[in-house]
Structure 1
Amino acid sequence: MEVRMLPEPHTVESYRRSVLGLVTALPAETVGLAEGLGRTTAEAVTAAFAVPRFDNAAMDGYAVRAADLEGASPESPAVLVRLEPSRAGSPQPRPLRTGEARPVMTGAPLPPGADLVVPVERTTSGRFDDGATVALWRDAKPHIRNRGEDIAEGAPIVRRGVVLGPRDLGLLAATGHTVVRVHRAPRVALVVTGDELFSDAGPRAGIPDSNSVYLRAAVTALGGDVVSVQLVRDDEDALRRVLDSAARKADLIVSTGGVGPGTHDLAGRLAAASPDGTLARVAMRPGRPQAHGRWRGTPWLALPGTPAAAFVSFEAFVRPVLARLAGALTGGEPASETVSVGWPGRAGAVRFVPLAVEADADAIAVHPLGSPDHASHSLSAMFRAPLIAMVGAETANVETGQLVPVFEPA
């Protein structure tokens, strides 16, 4: 099987567009709110209930008619007939008649006809009594929460394509929803290749498999469902069998290793020979060799095997593919940070550089973690850094005080 690598390198942006072309949003399903965390809304949601749902007391006091307190003062309070109290969760009380006051607790429904809540502190005793009457005067504020003053019934509350967080779910519950329409979580099969790798704990020759551990955790953190993890030797028949199995159960296959020009680099060749397949060089450091395609109809992203390169490749290409599968409308735009310390470099490729963020009483310092010239091998820096800089291909040296695009890794 002979597959030629494309002679001209992709840019990061063009290769990202290429892999995104492999996928569309997964079908929608209805789930309970408890299952919605991290899922992406398939449709816009409006409020089923108003918030507040009914006029209610904003504090403990007495619901009264303002006309009954005309001229009342601390020196000459109005004396009204005291009714049974109403608490939060009580049914709607009967309408208030002239000369009546109903004790209400915070959140209690306001009786029809009442247009003021007098705080209990504005009574002659300053507390709730059991007497037949109460002497009180009005306060400067009405202390009423009106129906719908926060959220009107039917008002938009969550847009389509939103990744649901705890506050979104709380808002849905508060506005009368118990279920929500979301896109199905992506099912991902992970395939890690290489004769040199081992996954058991005992001491032995070779390199420990960290890629599958990282990828499983990263996919899960982003809301994906890892359906299988396979470590495969550099054997084409074995790799084909694993890919066949992965394609039957997954929406996306992600592999690491085997995308270079070597005789044992099988994954890139198989991916490139598949429908929509490409074996490419991408103008990025680390992560230059990349491949993608479809294996038995299932989209497949083949990443380099070096752990630091697999890490940045996941962030650059797999993360936006997962977002599209999950129904997100955008893949998210990078933020920017001003670096406190510059560093030299070569233009021509996007460089992914781990950054440290240090704060003291006076300022926040952002500077490279480890050596920017050895990012492709600086596994410890890549995995420890809170931010990763994406230095543009047109930029050589990064100057002190320069604004650079950054992202927070999964």
Structure 2
Amino acid sequence: MAQLGKDSFSAGEKPMRVDDAVALLLARIPCVEGLESVSLFAAEGRVLAEALVAPIDLPRFDNSAVDGYAVRFGDLTPGAETILPVGSRVAAGHAPEPALESAAAVRIFTGASMPEGLDTIFMQEDCRLLEDGSVALPPGLTLGANRRLRGEDISAGDPALPKGRRLTPEDIGLAAALGVAHLPVRRRLRAAIFSTGDEVLSPGEPLRPAAIYDANRFLLHALLGRLGVEVDDLGVLADDPDIISRALHEAAATHDLVLTSGGVSVGEEDHVKKAIGAEDSLAFWRLAIKPGRPVAMGVIGGTPFVGLPGNPVAVFVTFVHVVRPLIAALLGAAFEPARRLAVTSSFKYKKKKGRREYVRVSLRDDATGDTIAEKYPVEGAAVLTSLTRTHGFVELAEDVERVAPGDKVAFVDYALLR
């Protein structure tokens, strides 16, 4: 587990800006100890614990990018068709014959090693085979055409993948091409999650009056799973400060991260923030963000803890903007904020200055090919269909106060937040 001291953070009463909160997490959260070696088949989504240096050149030798005929460029007739005898044949995986002593072409196939002394390749569809077995080569080809040079992708000894990279299928393909069968990765994080509230029931339980089904734990479980985190579900806890405090401290003793939802506001029945003991600490408990202002982040028994809001849309928003960078820090991963795409607003909107807001929108293309963002008609932080029926968020920065139809706005796709 990542062990943090009580004084790793200090909480202020003023709502913290999102970027300041992320910078604080990335600066203060230590990486968990422990790594393991996994096969490439098990490496997707894991965080690389040590940089990968290319052990070989890629490609290992000059080779052909096409099926065709390899020649020595100096044997071609400038500005005119060249006719050459076909001296030999080389296929992929077979060593070429010794260099030709006289001007001749070599029949070559994609991926085959270039014969020594030859430097240019004609595509077979551009050539004519003659009755005597020679080949007619058209004019105009440049020196080195259709030849892949040794090491042009990456040279032996060069950096191939950086430490801290969350491995993608493309990364795994590169490692395989370099002959690497196993990669050192950070061990998986183990997180505990629970929801709070006397009104909250788990799906499948009889629905009593004034009760609701818990969406938050299941949303969090899925979001954590997408990031490769092992999750222990502690269920729903009653609105009892002693029960919540005991659960928080027991979970913190055996997990790398503890996440809760609900109970972090300032109401009389909001007990999560109060359950953090005198030996623990808070980094912040209010963010300048909408939806999702009440977010408690701190340290319990040396373990990071995040108390997320009670409404599911606010849980989603605060997870992707607080918990994602926190998990990156715990894994020693390079945190990459989601890229923004400039789109055109179809709606007008007014917001409070100094707070970052995330407006749920769908995208469409207009007749001119411009991408238009349309706001979901219901804005509430409890409206789950506002996530399932839209494509992403329009992010409105702290200094923005109004949006009008036709304004360019920053769009963040949900798919980039997972």
Q: Normalising to structure 1: TM-score of the pair? A: 0.81
2:350 aligned counterpart, secondary structure: coil
Distance in 2 (alpha carbons) for counterparts of 1:151 and 1:224: 32
Whether the aligned pair in 2 keeps the contact of 1:244 and 1:295 (CA below 8 Å) is yes
Does the C-alpha gap of structure 1 residues 268 and 406 become closer, same or farther in structure 2, counting only changes over 3 Å?
farther
How far did residue 203 of structure 1 move?
4.2
Q: Does residue 291 in structure 1 map to residue 291 in structure 2?
A: no
2:403 aligned counterpart, secondary structure: coil
Structure with higher Rg: it is 1
Distance in 2 (alpha carbons) for counterparts of 1:323 and 1:54: 38
Does the C-alpha gap of structure 1 residues 135 and 341 become closer, same or farther in structure 2, counting only changes over 3 Å?
same
Q: Does residue 110 in structure 1 map to residue 114 in structure 2?
A: yes
- The Cα RMSD (Å) is 3.4
Q: Which moved more, 1:297-306 or 1:347-356?
A: 347-356
Whether the aligned pair in 2 keeps the contact of 1:23 and 1:321 (CA below 8 Å) is yes
Percent identity reads 32
1:266 aligned counterpart, secondary structure: coil
Paired AA for residue 308 in structure 1: V
Q: Deviations over 1:290-324 (max 9, x none)?
A: 22222222111111212222222212211211222
How far did residue 207 of structure 1 move?
0.7
Paired AA for residue 322 in structure 2: F
Does the C-alpha gap of structure 1 residues 219 and 326 become closer, same or farther in structure 2, counting only changes over 3 Å?
same
Distance in 2 (alpha carbons) for counterparts of 1:352 and 1:116: 55
How far did residue 262 of structure 1 move?
3.3
Aligned with residue 10 of structure 1, among 13, 16, 24: 16
Distance in 2 (alpha carbons) for counterparts of 1:346 and 1:116: 64
Matches within 5 A, 1:176-325: 176-205=179-208, 206-271=211-276, 273-277=278-282, 280-325=285-330
Q: Does residue 364 in structure 1 map to residue 367 in structure 2?
A: no
Paired AA for residue 366 in structure 1: A
Does the C-alpha gap of structure 1 residues 356 and 268 become closer, same or farther in structure 2, counting only changes over 3 Å?
same
Tell me which residue corresponds to 1:339. Answer: 345
How far did residue 381 of structure 1 move?
1.3
Distance in 1 (alpha carbons) for counterparts of 2:349 and 2:169: 40
Tell me which residue corresponds to 2:7. Answer: none
Tell me which residue corresponds to 1:40. Answer: 47
Whether the aligned pair in 2 keeps the contact of 1:60 and 1:119 (CA below 8 Å) is yes
Whether the aligned pair in 2 keeps the contact of 1:271 and 1:292 (CA below 8 Å) is no
Tell me which residue corresponds to 2:355. Answer: 349
Whether the aligned pair in 2 keeps the contact of 1:119 and 1:139 (CA below 8 Å) is no
Whether the aligned pair in 2 keeps the contact of 1:336 and 1:405 (CA below 8 Å) is yes
Whether the aligned pair in 1 keeps the contact of 2:85 and 2:105 (CA below 8 Å) is no
How far did residue 232 of structure 1 move?
1.9
Distance in 1 (alpha carbons) for counterparts of 2:77 and 2:372: 63
Whether the aligned pair in 2 keeps the contact of 1:65 and 1:98 (CA below 8 Å) is no
Distance in 2 (alpha carbons) for counterparts of 1:154 and 1:317: 37
Q: Deviations over 1:323-347 (max 9, x none)?
A: 2223233341652534232123344
Task: Give the length in aligned residue pairs.
Answer: 394
1:277 aligned counterpart, secondary structure: strand
Distance in 2 (alpha carbons) for counterparts of 1:139 and 1:150: 29
1:34 aligned counterpart, secondary structure: helix
Does the C-alpha gap of structure 1 residues 361 and 328 become closer, same or farther in structure 2, counting only changes over 3 Å?
farther
Q: Does residue 87 in structure 1 map to residue 91 in structure 2?
A: yes
Distance in 2 (alpha carbons) for counterparts of 1:145 and 1:405: 41
Whether the aligned pair in 1 keeps the contact of 2:90 and 2:112 (CA below 8 Å) is yes
Whether the aligned pair in 2 keeps the contact of 1:212 and 1:229 (CA below 8 Å) is no
